[in-house]
Each structure stands twice: as structure tokens, then as C-alpha cells.
Amino acid sequence: MKVDVLLGLQWGDEGKGKVVDVLTPRYDVIARFQGGPNAGHTLEFEGQKYVLRSIPSGIFQGDKVNIIGNGVVLDPALFKAEAEALEASGHNLKERLHISKKAHLILPTHRILDAAYEAAKGDAKVGTTGKGIGPTYTDKVSRNGLRVGDILHNFEEKYAQTKARHEEILKSLNYQYDLTELEKEWLAAVEFLKQFTLVDSEHEINNLLVNDKKVLCEGAQGTMLDIDFGSYPFVTSSNTICAGACTGLGVAPNKIGDVYGIFKAYCTRVGAGPFPTELFDETGDKICTLGHEFGSVTGRKRRCGWIDLVALRYAIMLNGATKLIMMKSDVLDTFDTIKACVAYKVNGEEIDYFPYDITEGIEPVYVELDGWKTDMTSMRSENEFPEEFNAYLSFLEEQLGTPITIVSIGPDRAQTIER
């Protein structure tokens, strides 16, 4: 048995949580492989809205195993708040959630370091969520991190050593902070974390595969935020691409099956960083308003623009995407004309590939298509799609060389159409 992978192909916020929830009935296990509480997955069904930050999006299906993998960084305090909110709404996490002992812990001082580093950058800020993600991954790769499994072995000593090292750094930055309440809340959350099933997730997942269980690997953020292949340095601190599922869960490359690549019918980005198709006019504002483009974790307004097929082709290549899923198609229901970027102009030369540097001098080359001018939100079959929308889908499939197998026309589970 192979694992399937589901991930974002743009700058995050593509709607991964909703799709995982829709696909979950086909799988036995949902496993998150990277990122931390900086990634918010919003799900809506049965009149309720949920925002997941660290917990896999398959948690709402009662008979499924959900795994937080070793590639994830976990803040016990934020995890506790998220878990308690879900349990209060009737979802029993302790029976269905497993957490890798090798997942790294976000400490209170990591969050303070995050703020201190951003403050020191001045106008060159990356625009982090302030959740301590970057400093935690920094400790991980420098072999100074604390892991979930450490809470079971000499934890007080290990925590004190790491905290002391962080405080020396903060002292050198002349950063003023108060750790008291953060630390108190965090230590209580560590005790809460001990109530969950802590596992060697790489063994668990591979044993599940041997026993013919179906596993869906869930990514956070998006391909264009990948630490190696994204728009560096305006990226996250982990590998968001398909390869991250191998390192973030302990799955061999030859165990990867289908790769679901998710994208919006347009583009958005949160925080700083280059964005070739960004719109600074009424059209961009209209997309933002209709799409409710505000971060589910940060509440920050998202920058909006037309779809970027150059970046999408790049993302499909990096991930080996086999099936595409287009989200928020309904947001474009009222537009007379839809634009799609098919190439870039760089110093007067037209290119159709994603270059090393997109920070400046990039001019998008657009193709214009007719809008469908139809409210699609109540449609439940592709047979109901307007002709112009089918033309848009065909154009995208031709440009991207990959089939679009699912189309979302609204936030609810029921507004998901398979083709």
C-alpha cells in the first residue's frame, strides 16, 4: 500500500483543510507532516466553522487515526487550547490522535525570539506569524531542540538548559520581555500533552501500510513557501513540498502514490514577499472581499491577484502532482473577464519558467478569458457548470498538463464537485 499526499501549490491558504475533510472517508489514517500552528485550516460543515492549527483535518471523522508527524513543530499551549475547543464541541481526540515523539516542541522563549528577530530586521521583516516556528526549526537543525518524547525523560533539566540559552540570545538583542505567564501556561500544557498517545510515528505509519491501511499525508502552508524552493527568504522554515512527507513522516519515496495539488482559482499571499500577479486596484479588493481573504490564524488581510500558471507549473513539477483540486471557483462568479498569467517578462524577455529571483522586474503576461457570470454555489454536479467555466477548466488543464479532478464552489463540504 502507498500513501497519498495532499498539499498546497501556491502561497498557502488554498483550502487544504476542507479537502482533507472531504477525502477522509476514503482513508484509514490522516497524517500531518510539517509546519506548526502558523498554518490554519478552516473547515465548515453542518452549520459549524472550525479552525485547525496543529491537529490533522481528518479529526472530525470518528473512526480515523490522526497522526501529528515528526516533521511538525508543536506548541503545547496552543495545542491544548485547540484540543479543548474541539473536545468541547464533542470530538474525542484522545481516542483518535497520535503524536510523534520526534516532533519538536515550540517553547515560550521560541515565540519571544521570533518577535525579537523580526523587530531587529526593521523594514526587512519577513512577516512571520510570531508563533515561534522559525526559531524552533533553527534549534532543530542546529541539534539544540526539545522533542515531544523529551517530556517523558529528564524534561525539567533539558528545558532549563534550552531556556537559559535562549535568554542569553535575547539579552544580546537587548529585547525586553516577560516570560512569567507564557511559561506558566506552557508548562501546564506539557502535562496536558502527556494524556495523549505518543508514538514512534515512522514505525506506526509503515506498519499501517504493511497492513494495507490507506494513509493520506496532509501538508501545511504551500509549495511557494518551501524553505528550499519557495520565494526565499519570504518562506516558512520547513519543506512544504511532497518530499517533506517522506522526511516528516518517515515514508520512503517509493511509497508515494497520488499527489493531490490544491490551488485557488486566483492567487493570494499573506505577509511580505514577491507576488508577480498581485492586484493593487478595485479588482484585487473585490477578490479579497468576495473570497473573505483574511488569515484563519492571524486575521491578516491577504494580498490578492490573478492566477499564476508559471508558478503553478513549477509547483506541479516539484511535487509530481497527479491530480489537481481547484478551490474558491465561486469567488470569480461575477467577473466579466478572468485573467491568467501564462508567462513572465523579465528585462523585456518573455520566459515561461519560474526564475531564481522574482523580487523585482517581473511583469506578468496575461491571457484573458470570458467570465461565466453565474452563481455556482448551489450547483452539485459538473453538468450544471456554465460553458465559460468549463472553458476556464479546459484552459487550465491544457496549460498545467494535469487533470483537475475536484472543484470547490463554496466553503461547505457539500459544495465540492468531483469530475
Cα 10 to Cα 138, 330, 382, distances in angstroms: 24, 18, 24
Cα 408 to Cα 84, 303, 329, 331, 379, distances in angstroms: 30, 21, 6, 10, 10
Cα–Cα dist 308/260, whole Å: 18
| Burial (Cβ within 10 Å: 0-12, 13-18, ≥19) of residue 349 | exposed
Q: Distance between terminal CA atoms of the chain? A: 25
Looking at residue 318, its amino acid is L
Q: List, by residue number, the catalytic residues.
A: 13, 41
Cα–Cα dist 135/23, whole Å: 33
Phi-psi region of 135 (alpha: psi -120 to 50; beta: other; left: phi over 0): alpha
**Contact indicator for 364, 419 with CB cutoff of 8 Å:** no
**Contact indicator for 295, 270 with CB cutoff of 8 Å:** yes
Q: Could you tell me which of 218, 247, 224 has the C-alpha nearest to residue 9?
A: 224
